[in-house]
C-alpha cells in the first residue's frame, strides 16, 4: 500500500508467481493506456505493480467503489 497516495498498487502482497496471467493482462493494459509504471520501492512485496496516480484512474476507481 502506498501511504503517500501518489501511486496505485496492484497485486499488493502477492508473490510474482501468484496471478501470473492477471499480472500479464494488467501490464499490457498499463502500457496500452500509457500509464506511468514505476519500480516498486524497497521493502515492497514481490509481485506488486506500482502505477503513478492519474485522473483517469481516479475517476474509474471511484466508479467501482
14 part of a folded domain: yes
Whether residue 36 is contained in a domain is answered as yes
For residue 28, being part of any structural domain is answered with: yes
Count of domains forming the chain:
1
Residue 1 domain-assigned (yes or no): no
Domain range enclosing 52: 7-64
Separation between Cα atoms, residue 7 and residue 11, nearest integer Å:
13
42 lies in some domain: yes
Mean pLDDT (the chain, rounded): 86
Pairwise CA distance, residues 44 & 17, whole Å: 15
Q: How confident is the model at residue 61 (pLDDT cuts 50, 70, 90)?
A: confident
What's the whole-model pTM score?
0.79
- Bigger pLDDT: 45 vs 39: 39
- Residue (of 2, 8, 59) closest to 35 by Cα position: 8
Answer yes or no: is 23 within a domain: yes
Amino acid at each position: 500500500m502506498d501511504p503517500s497516495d501518489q501511486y496505485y498498487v496492484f497485486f499488493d502482497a502477492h508473490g510474482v508467481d501468484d496471478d501470473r496471467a492477471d499480472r500479464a493482462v494488467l501490464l499490457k493494459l498499463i502500457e496500452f493506456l500509457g500509464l506511468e509504471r514505476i519500480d516498486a520501492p524497497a521493502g515492497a512485496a514481490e509481485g506488486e505493480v506500482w502505477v503513478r496516480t492519474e485522473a483517469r484512474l481516479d475517476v474509474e476507481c471511484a466508479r467501482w467503489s
